[in-house]
Structure 1
Amino acid sequence: MAIYHLSAKVISRAGGRSSVAAAAYRTAGRLYDDRQGLEHDYSRKSGVIHSEIMVPENAPDWMRDRSQLWNAVEIIEKRRDAQLAREIEVSLPRELDRGQRLELLRGFIEREFVDRGMIADVAVHESKARDGFSQPHAHVMLTMRELTGDGFGKKDRGWNAPDLLLGWREAWARDANIALEHAGRSERIDHRSIDAQRSEAEQQVERARASGQEKLVFEYEKKVIELSREPEPKIGPSANAQEKRGIVTERGSAFRAAQARNAQREELGRKQLELRLELMERGRAFIASARERLDQLWNRAEAALYRIKERVIGGGGRLHADPEHSDFDTRREVVSGRDFKRSEEQTFNAVRERTAPENANQARRDAVLGRERETISIEQESIDRSQEQRESILGRGKSSDRRDPERSR
C-alpha cells in the first residue's frame, strides 16, 4: 500500500554539520568544503538514481552548480549555530514508475518551494524496504535566504511558519493522490495523524452500519484495524547504519518490538472481525430458516381455519375448492372475516334449522302436560263434589237426632 511520509528538519552548524557535506552525501557526489578545507566524497554510495538543482527564474547561473551553491551558503552564514539549509524528506509512491514519481516530485517542488524563491537541491533514492520491496524517497535541500541580484539576501522567517509546513504536508498528499488516480491506481495516502484517520474510519463504520451497507462496514472496519497501531520509534541514521552491519542497537530493538506488537494487534483484530462476520452469517441463516418454518405454520393454520369455517357454515355454504389448492387471496379473505356477512347468515340459518326440531318436541311436551293437568283438575273436582255430598248426608242425620230425642231413646 502507498505510504505517506513528509518530514522537515533544519541542517544546523550547531551540531557540527556542513551543508556541503550534506549535499555530497545525499547526491552521492564529491564536493570540497572551502570553509573547512575538507573534501567530502560519497561517490561510492549506492541507491541514488537521480539528482538535480531547481532554481527560481531570477537566480544567477552559478547557483545551478552544487559546489558553488553550498559553499556560498557556508560563507554567508557567520554564526556558530547558524541554520544552513532546510531538508524535506518525502516518500514516493512505489505504485508509480520512476518517470511518474519524478514528474510528481518536480511539480510539487516547483509550486511549493521554487515559486516562493527557494533553491532546491533534489536527490532521489531507491533503497530496499523492510518488506523486501523498493522504498523510493527523495531528499530536498532548500536554501533559507532570499535572492537579491547575484547573491543571497536576508533570511525569510516566513518560511519557518508551522502553518506553512502543514500546507506542504497536505499539498503532497493531494498531489500524490492525483498522480495515483491518473495512473489508474486505487491506493491513496493521508497526511493526517493516525488518531485522526482512525477516528474518521470509526465514524464511517457507524454511518455505513446505520444505512445497512454491510460491505462498506466490513471495509471500514478493516481500515480501523490497520490504523489501530502504536507509533513506531525512529531508528536514526547512526543506529540504522549499525543495524545494517549486524550490530543490534537499543533503538533497533525498540523499533522491532513496536513492530511485533502492531503485527499481533492487527492479527487479533482481523480474527475478531472474521469471527463476528461468521456469527452474522450464521444468524442470517437461522433467521431465514425460522422464517421458512413460520411460513409453513401459517399455511397450515390457514388450512385448519378453512376447514373449521366449512364445518361451522355447514353444507349450504360449503366452499367447493380444496383448501390446499384454493386461491391464497380467497382463503385469506375467509380467515380475515371479509366474507363474514355471508358466513353469519349461513350460520344463523343452520342454527335455526338445527333448533327447529327441539322447539317442536317442546311444544308436544307442553301439550301433553296440559292435557294431564286438565284431567287432574277434572278428577279433583269430582272428588270435591263427592266429599260435599257425603258431608251433606251426614249433616242431615245429625239434625234428625236433635228433633226427636225421645225417639232416639
Structure 2
Amino acid sequence: MAIYHLSAKVISRAGGRSSVAAAAYRAAGRLHDDRQGLEHDYSRKGGVIHSEIMVPENAPEWMRDRNQLWNAVEIVEKRRDAQLAREVEVSLPRELDRGQRLKLLRGFIQREFVDRGMIADVAVHEGKARDGFGQPHAHVMLTMREMTGDGFGKKDRSWNAPDLLLGWREAWARDANIALERAGRSERIDHRSLDVQRSEAEQQVECARAGGQEELAFERERKVIELSREPEPKIGPSANAQEKRGIVTERGDAFRATQARNAQREELGRKQLELRLELMERGRAFIASTRERLDRLWDRAGEALSRIKERVMGEVERPQTDTGRSDMDVRRAVVLGREINRPEAQVKDIERDHFSLEKSRDNERRKAVLGGSELDPNTSRNDKGRER
C-alpha cells in the first residue's frame, strides 16, 4: 500500500543544532563547520543512495558545493536562536523503481521550492520499514533567505505561510499519484487527514448501497476499515536511535501499542465484513434454490393442467349416446364454469298406467263370464236390448 508522508520542520540554532552537521548526516558526507571549528563525518553511514544540490538559475556556482553552502548560512545567521534551514521529509512510493522515484522527486522540488528562489539540498535514503519492506524517503534541506547578487539577502517570510505547506502536501499527493498511474499502478496516496478520508469513504459506501451496487459497497467498506485507525505517534530521532541500539523507550512503547491497537481493529473489522459477505452469499443461495423449486412446482402444475384439458377435450370430441352426451355436457360445464341446463325428465303418469291395467283386467273377466265375442264396453244399454 502506498504511504503518504510529507512533513516540514525548521532546523534552529536554539536547539543547539548546526546546518552543516545536519547536511553532513543526511548526505552521509564529511563536512567542516567553520563557525564551530568541528568536523562532521558521516561518510560511513549507510542507506543513502543519492544526494545533490538543486539551485535556481541565477545562483552562483559556489552554492552547488555543500560545504560552502551551509557554512555561508551559518555565517549570515547571527542570532543565537536563528532559524538556519527548513527540512522537508517526504516518503517515496515503494511501488516505483529508483529512477521513477528520483524523477518524481526532482520535478516536485524544482516546481515547489527551487522556482520560488530556494536552494535545495536533496538526499534520498532507502531504509527498511517495520513491515520488512523497503522504506524509500527523501530529506530536503531548504535555505530560508533570498539570493542577492553573489550571496544571501533577507529572509523571505512568505515561505513560512501555513497555506504554502498545505499546498506542498497537496501537490506531492497529486504528483505521486500521476507517477503511479503512469507506471501502471493502482495504488494512490491522499494528503488529507484520516478523519476526512474515512468520512468520504463512508459516504461512498452509502451511495453505492443506495444505488443497489452491493459489491462496490463492500469494496469501499474495506477502504473504510483501512482508514479506521488512529494516527501513529512519532518516535523522534533520539528515541529512534536508542531503539535501533536495542534500548526500549517510552515513545517506542507508545508507537508499538498504537500499532497493536490498529492491527486488532483492522482484523476485527475484516472479520465482521467477511461474516456479512458470507451471510449475504448464503441468502442469495437460499433465494436461488427456493426460486428453482417454485419453478419446478409451477411447471408440474402446468403439465397436470394441460393433461386434464386434453382429457376433457378428447371426451368432448368422442361420439356419445344421448345419456353420454348429457353427462359430457355436465362435465364440460363444470370445467368451463358454466351453469348446467338440464332438460326436465319426463315423469311417468303412474296413476294412468295403473287405471289402464285395471281396465284390461276387467274386460278379460267379463269375457270369461259372458262368453262369445268381446262386447264393446262403450255400447249403450238400449243398443244391447235391441240386439237381443
Same fold (TM over 0.5): yes
**1:297 deviation in Å?**
2.8
Partner of 2:219: 219
Q: Which residue of 1 aligns with 2:239?
A: 239
Tell me: CA distance 1:344–1:207, structure 2 relative to 1, closer, same or farther (3 Å). farther
CA 1:348–1:242: 2 relative to 1, 3 Å: closer
Structure 1, residues 179-238: CA drift from partner, whole Å, max 9, x if none?
Answer: 111112221111111111111221222222223333322321211111111111111111
Residues 198, 224 of structure 1: 8 Å contact kept: yes
Quick one: distance in 2 between partners of 1:47 and 1:310?
90
1:65 aligns with 2:65: yes
Question: Does the CA contact (< 8 Å) of 2:333 and 2:339 recur in 1?
Answer: no
Shift of 1:360: 2.5
Name the counterpart of 2:89.
89
Letter in 2 for 1:195: D
Per the TM alignment, residue 28 of structure 1 is displaced from its structure 2 partner at its CA by: 1.0
* Structure 1 position 133, deviation (Å): 1.6
SS at match of 1:123: strand
Q: Aligned AA for 1:264?
A: Q
Tell me which of 314, 319, 340 is aligned to 1:351: 340
Task: Find the counterpart in structure 2 of residue 109 from structure 1.
Answer: 109
Structural RMSD (CA): 2.5
Distance 1:191 1:256 in 2: 24
Structure having the higher helix fraction is 1
Deviation at 1:303? 4.5
Partners of 1:172 and 1:346 lie apart in 2 by 81
Distance 2:336 2:167 in 1: 87
Change in 2 beyond 3 A, CA 1:85/1:312: same
Question: 2:5 & 2:248 partners in 1: Cα distance?
Answer: 25
Pairwise mapping of residues 8-407 of structure 1 onto structure 2 (< 5 A)?
8-303=8-303, 305=305, 315-316=315-316, 347=336, 351-352=340-341, 355-356=342-343, 359-361=344-346, 364=347
Provide the secondary structure at the position in 1 that maps to 2:261.
Answer: helix
Aligned partner of residue 247 in structure 1, secondary structure: coil
The TM-score, its normalising length taken from structure 2, stands at 0.82
CA distance 1:87–1:283, change in 2 (3 Å): same
Q: 1:306 offset after TM fit, Å?
A: 5.0
- CA distance, structure 2, for counterparts of residue 33 and residue 4 of structure 1: 34
SS at match of 1:58: coil
Gaps of 5+ in 2: 319-331, 355-388
Aligned residue in 1 for 2:372: none
Partners of 1:145 and 1:347 in 2: CA distance? 103
Cα deviation digits, residues 37-72 of structure 1 (max 9, x gap): 222111111111111110001111111111111111
Q: Which amino acid aligns with 1:157?
A: R
Counterpart of 2:340 in 1: which secondary structure? helix
How many corresponding residue pairs? 341
Structure 1: where are the runs of 5+ without partners? 319-342, 373-409
Q: TM-score, normalised by structure 1?
A: 0.78
